[in-house]
Amino acid sequence: MTSSMPATRHSIADLSGSFDIAPWAVTELSGETHIVRYANPAFCRLIGKAHDEVIGRPFDGLAPKTDECLTLLDRVYRTGAAESYTAAEKAAPLPLFFSYTLWPVVADGRTAGVMIQVNETGPLHETRKAISEALLLGALRQDELIEAANSANAQLQAEVQERQRREEDAKALTKEVWHRVKNNLQIVVALLANEIKRTPEPWVQGYLAMQDRISAIARLYDLISQSTLGQTVPIGAYLEEVAATLSTSLLGDSSGIRIVVEAEALEIDSERAVPFGLLVNELATNAIKHAFPAGVGLVTLAAHRTGNEIELSVTDDGIGMPAPGQGSTPGKHGSDYVAIFVRQLGGALVRSGAPGAGTSVTIRFPLSFGAAGSANP
């Protein structure tokens, strides 16, 4: 493992904290006679001498006379250029492998000494054996990691598929519940219709109003059961359902009153969809019954997003709100219901209009259920 070391103006003894724990042998020599100024523990172990036996002694007394290292030392000191040496020395029972690098130590622009780093020393077969073992263990470990990764991935895929299956089952069950609720509500509507036939005239309007409200809830659950998510209701489609049902139940084909819908692509959570639908039903029914004494006019159901709020408006071009002191619009109970539904939406209501100029009721409520807080009854 050969590394490069730049020439330095300082003794590496200043960096002994780093070299003392290095696994390779490092020593610094000073002057033309190559006096040892520093030797780390790995170097002392390599030559088999104590630290005190090395420091201050000429390097040529520590190295074999025939060692190429002495020649390279003189060359590095003389030329100021680094040198490297690698050789396999004959030794019993197997060759000994050497590899080391020498760098000049520069001070004031001249070579003041040489540093030696021993990169490798040991029997060549041991080095090759260690490399082979490392490669083999690495390959085995890689196979283990790949197998573990494949197993974990298969388990994850199985868990994901199981979760998806459970989610699909839950969605199907939820839709089935919504569908059954809708069917039950329609049964209630049919029972009310049968009861209305036998009810004296003074009480018929009350039964009809109740029937309309329950029908509105039934339409809501029908939309929820058809939704792909099952947790939200598209506002535009819901308003169209309300408009179609009111046109059928209160107006008929020959009526001069029309209901139109103007809605952005918005959705409302199923928890607030019930008071939302009942609110629209109540306001639109009130407009149809009281805004057009001549039997001709337009009711607009609109929903738009304004910042983090939904703005719902029910507008008519009828006779408008009465002037102060001229009475009020009939339907005290209806007004009470409207206030309750607005509160459940977490919204605020503004009513505007004037005699002969139509009426507009606007409700703003939070876009998301969390922002609205818990609904109040």
CATH superfamily entry for domain 12-129:
PAS domain (3.30.450.20)
**How far from each other are the two terminal CA atoms of the chain, in whole angstroms?**
79
What was the pLDDT predicted at 130? 58
Q: What is the pTM of this model?
A: 0.49
Selection from 231, 238, 358, 225 nearest residue 287 by Cα? 358
* pLDDT value of position 7: 43
* Residues 6 or more apart in contact with residue 63 via CB below 8 angstroms: 69, 70
In terms of DSSP bridges, do strands 296-306 and 110-123 run parallel, antiparallel, or are they unpaired? Answer: unpaired
181-210, pLDDT tens digit by residue?
777 777 877 877 777 777 787 777 777 777
Q: What whole-number distance in Å separates Cα of residue 209 and Cα of residue 335?
A: 13
Work out the average pLDDT over 105-130: 71
Write out the DSSP string of 209-247: HHHHHHHHHHHHHHHHHHSSSSSEEEHHHHHHHHHHHHI
Q: Which percentage of the chain shows pLDDT scores above 90?
A: 16
Task: Give residue-wise pLDDT tens across range 256-289.
Answer: 899 999 999 998 887 888 889 889 988 988 888 8
Task: For the chain, give every domain's residue range.
Answer: 12-129, 176-372
Q: Residue 83 contacts by C-beta under 8 Å, 6 or more apart in sequence?
A: 72, 75, 76, 101, 102
245 vs 212: CA distance, rounded Å: 9
pLDDT digits (tens, 9 = 90+) for 290-320: 888 888 999 999 999 999 999 999 999 888 8
Q: CATH second-level architecture of 176-372?
A: 2-Layer Sandwich (3.30)
Q: Is 266 helix (H, G, I), strand (E, B) or coil?
A: coil
pLDDT mean over 154-180? 79
Q: What is the DSSP letter of 58?
A: B
Per residue in 121-144, pLDDT (tens digit) is 655 555 555 555 666 667 667 777
Predicted pLDDT of residue 112: 84
Query: What is the C-alpha separation between 167 and 178, in angstroms, rounded?
Result: 16
Residue 289 contacts residue 257 (beta carbons within 8 Å):
no
Q: What percent of the chain has pLDDT over 70?
A: 76
SS3 94: coil
Residue 326 has pLDDT above 70, yes or no: no
Q: Return the pLDDT at 6.
A: 42
Of the ranges 38-52, 94-108, 289-303, which one carries the lowest mean pLDDT score? 94-108
Closest CA to 229 of 269, 183, 265, 276: 269
